[in-house]
Amino acid sequence: MKKVRVALLGLGTVGTGTWKILRDNGPMIEEKAGCCLEVARVLVKNPEKKRAVELPEGILTTDFESIVADPSIDIIVEVIGGIEPARDYIIRALQAGKQVVTANKAVLAQHGSDIFAAADAQRRTIKYEASVCGGIPIISALQQSLLSNAILEITGILNGTTNYILTRMTESGKDFDTALKEAQGLGYAEADPAADVMGVDAANKLAILAYLAFGLKLDVKSIQTEGITGVTQRDIAAAREADFCIKLLASAKKINGTYRLKVCPEVIPLNHPLAGVSGVNNAVLVKGNAVNELMFYGQGAGEMPTGSAVVSDIIALALQVA
């Protein structure tokens, strides 16, 4: 069995989960998938930082050039996050003939066209299951399992942080600021929560889903986006009074021949399939013209669920390489 050599760019939350899954499930992956994966290099920003996992001597580097120039590396996994240098590293990895995995919705939503063009030009593949809803296999569902359908509509809870805040506001009567602080204390919200609470993160993910489902150009600026900072206890109480609840929904559907994409807080009845999605969980409802309505539900973030999606992408690419 050929050893497929992988380089991880980033060893934070997602990189660490990816490392742990490859370490712990490696033998099972070999048996089930028939491929042998070896992490050859790990790129980080600060090599002095204490790591949650023990790495073999000499594997850690701060030098991207040595990774991209190494002909023995088959797959590069970008889990750095942000726009630069992630965009540059992804494009240069593809240009160097590597297969690429990324978990980075922001870079795909903003620079996906250039990235996919670079992959096409080199006849390489970029896989990005972890970029939307972490552990939920919604990307592969749209790319493979649902190819038989015209997708009519997608509606989802795509951001765990905002869903946690709205859940706490609903269940315990907390106001937005208190629920946000609680989420930050539990590690569910960033110190700078703007991208989550303003709806930008959900919009990035919606742009990717709409690209796959409807073939729309990746254009996050065209998505009408409103976050949850304006949702008050009064709004929540009024909704509850009428057996409704408030969720930050991302939705895409065709109305009068035009696709309408939006992210905003919406009032939905308690018997709606998305009403019961609480805490940091994510869910996506997909309506296809043959299959009708499907719901994908699970953990949309975190070390292991996101690592699960990244490793599945690595395996799929390794089977092409091996």
Ligand X SMILES: NC(=O)c1ccc[n+]([C@@H]2O[C@H](COP(=O)([O-])OP(=O)(O)OC[C@H]3O[C@@H](n4cnc5c(N)ncnc54)[C@H](OP(=O)(O)O)[C@@H]3O)[C@@H](O)[C@H]2O)c1
**138 touching ligand X, by CB under 6 A:** no
The residue from 4, 6, 7, 14 that contacts ligand X (CB under 6 A) is 14
Our answer to whether residue 3 is catalytic in this structure is: no
Query: Can you tell me the distance from the alpha carbon of 226 to that of 198, in angstroms, rounded to the nearest whole number?
Result: 6
Nearest approach, Cβ of residue 60 and ligand X (Å): 9
**11 touching ligand X, by CB under 6 A:** yes
Residue 5: helix, strand or coil by DSSP? strand
The full DSSP string for 227-283 is -STT--HHHHHHHHHTTEEEEEEEEEEEETTEEEEEEEEEEEETTSTTTT--TTEEE
The residue from 22, 100, 301, 315 that contacts ligand X (CB under 6 A) is 301
Question: In 157-199, which residue ranges form alpha helices assigned H by DSSP?
Answer: 160-172, 176-185, 194-197
**12 touching ligand X, by CB under 6 A:** yes
Nearer to ligand X by Cβ, of 119 and 231: the residue is 119
Nearer to ligand X by Cβ, of 50 and 234: the residue is 50
Catalytic member of 205, 217, 253, 287:
205
Q: What is the largest CA-CA distance in the chain?
A: 63
Nearer to ligand X by Cβ, of 101 and 166: the residue is 101
**43 touching ligand X, by CB under 6 A:** yes
Strands lying side by side in the sheet with 244-255: 224-225, 258-269, 244-255, 151-157, 281-288, 292-299
**119 touching ligand X, by CB under 6 A:** no
**Is there a contact between 13 and 306 (Cβ–Cβ < 8 Å)?**
yes
User: Which among 239, 223, 242 has a CA at the least distance from the CA of 231?
Assistant: 239
The residue from 193, 199, 265, 302 that contacts ligand X (CB under 6 A) is 302
**179 touching ligand X, by CB under 6 A:** no
**130 touching ligand X, by CB under 6 A:** yes
Residues found near ligand X in the complex (CB under 6 A): 10-15, 43-46, 49, 79-81, 85, 103-105, 130, 134, 301-302, 306
- The residues annotated as belonging to the active site are 205
